A and B are shown apart, each in its own frame.
Chain A
């Protein structure tokens, strides 16, 4: 059973393209996690639950409205709904816990993950859900004699847009600058009269919005079901770690490493694909103990 014999250059290129579109989702989710981790120092385990809720919300909205418009509205409404949930959670609970030990925060967010997973079961039940794409995004193009789904191309376009948006937000807007400053020295920013608490809330909501967006974007390609939270969260954490904690470009780099090692691993050594991402993390951390790019803390 040789595998390498079948690896043509076309297939490799194809696989890279597909890997890149997968990277988009991973990047969007991981960048949100990284943002929250970098600025608020919260290892947010229920980030994965928000991703799952985003997918379910997108399904419900799309079914409720129906048609291509429904899909478009769902892509926006689902992350906004998730952002709303996170606003309530942050203002209601988290803003009182910022000074706690990291491990406590980790546990607290894990408690949320437990609660959210049962709530999703209560609200949406146990049947599989599937979100239909509008006709213009269905089907595939043929690139180098191999099919490439249109939706994956759409994802390839969304990725850079989100990345640019995040860059703009953190580097060009006031709130981004304050957030970056606050992540380095919380007291200092507070001392100059800025309400740090609300800056944190804003960052938290943006981070969670990204989780919801990731969930909404992944919904049409996947089985929307309970358990989606488990699958994504560990990946997102590993990506954030190899990229460098709190560094958004690190999240991009980490997602690229993840997406591509996975996609190429499948092509070359499919039977051991399960091991590749973990091995990538181990290798990165052995040589660069604090991640590839500069961590914010």
Chain B
């Protein structure tokens, strides 16, 4: 009993010393990033952080924002909600950051969003694709940079409706992201083209190692086209299995992130051709000076081409910098008023942060995988730009879902 007390006392005093030591004097603008830097998602999140750093370094070299430098610290959530949430609170209360950003994990993003609302601190959700973040669970203090599942689904429907397929099969990752993309795609496809018919669905667990059995079962149903709602680590093995079984040659299929660099680069020239995919960003498209100079800077700093996450990180940094500039003061409420409805000149052109739901209005690019001379991996070709206004739910729709809650 006494031993325990002594240990507890020791522990308490250690904590006390530690907390006193960390009290800080004058500080710069501090951004806290909570994200998953371990495991498969880190291939996406590292780009968010690095591009963020790129933008911040640039502005700091010019003397910072309103004479203050921007600093940022990162915490690894390990893709676990409890660890990430504790880290967010640590950033908020101990590190005393002014802004929170990050997380590719939707559950964690929603948890941090809830915290941000309570604590009245801006939170930029960079890569988590749940449409609840800016939709149903949206509030004044949360911002969503990435496209979300509603947008991805609508974009898929917009692209697929133009193609002649009628009989569909839907398959995907058995979690919120997969189901949400599939449901949105199907709902809007049905609206655009009422004669479509759903033959069936298959859902696999997250991290499914081998897709061959699913592919054979889909092929045996003989659909005209397939919507694959898999994301992240599932894309590579799925494309592998598709290539090995010749799936893409028998049935055309759509897969949301199929054309992304993180999916296609590891596969080299062994990826299947003709796969339809959508993404917010390619380093080789659009071929504008803005994008090319961004790619150059990123390559120079980190020795690799930027992936889609880089765009999200870069835009977040731009919002923070321009927001404080426009607000003219370091005040959270003024900052939020300033970024609402703000237009940014980004690598993909003008992007607006919509005032009604704090969703960044990013265009979506739909392309088809193809081998192209000069690349040692497949790239997206025949790219069609789907403007954000066409696929992002209107402010009225957002208001309706928020009321329904």
User: A residues near B, CB below 8 A?
Assistant: 1-3, 6-8, 10-11, 14-15, 18-19, 21-22, 117-118, 121, 126-130, 132-133, 138-140, 146-152, 218, 220-223, 225-227, 230-232, 262-263, 266-267, 270-271, 273-274
Contact = CB atoms under 8 A, between A and B. Distances in A.
Contacts of A271: 174, 201-203
A91 B244 CA distance: 42
Interface of B: 37-40, 42-43, 46, 171, 174, 198-205, 207, 209-210, 212-217, 219-221, 233-237, 240-241, 244-247, 250, 262-263, 265-268, 270
A84 B219 CA distance: 43
Contacts of B198: 1
A222 B220 contact: no
Contacts of A218: 209-210
Contacts of A232: 209
Contacts of A10: 220
Contact of B241 (A139, A146, A221): A221
Classify the interface of chain A: helix, strand, loop or mixed: helix
B389 to A, nearest CB: 33
B199 A6 contact: yes
Most buried by A among B43, B46, B250: B43
Contacts of B205: 273-274
Given A1-B200, A222-B240, A262-B213, A227 B220 contact: no
Contacts of B237: 221-223
B309 to A, nearest CB: 12
A96 B358 CA distance: 59
Contact of B207 (A117, A231, A267): A231
Contacts of A266: 202, 204, 213-214, 217
Contact of A18 (B46, B171, B212, B267): B212
Most buried by B among A126, A133, A140, A218: A126
Contacts of B219: 146-147
Given A140-B245, A146-B219, A267-B217, A227 B39 contact: yes
Contacts, number: 156
A137 B127 CA distance: 37
A7 B199 CA distance: 12
B217 A270 contact: yes
Nearest to B204: A273
Given A2-B200, A147-B247, A221-B209, A126 B43 contact: yes
A254 B68 CA distance: 63
Contacts of A132: 268, 270
A271 B37 CA distance: 31
A221 B236 contact: no
Closest 3 CB pairs of A and B: A11-B220, A126-B42, A270-B202
19 contacts: A3-B200, A6-B220, A22-B213, A117-B38, A128-B262, A128-B263, A130-B236, A133-B244, A147-B245, A149-B241, A150-B244, A218-B210, A221-B209, A223-B40, A227-B233, A266-B204, A267-B217, A271-B174, A274-B204
A222 B266 CA distance: 11
B217 A149 contact: no
A7 B219 CA distance: 11
B168 to A, nearest CB: 12
A21 B268 CA distance: 25
A118 B241 CA distance: 29
Nearest to A152: B212
B268 A130 contact: yes
A10 B221 CA distance: 11
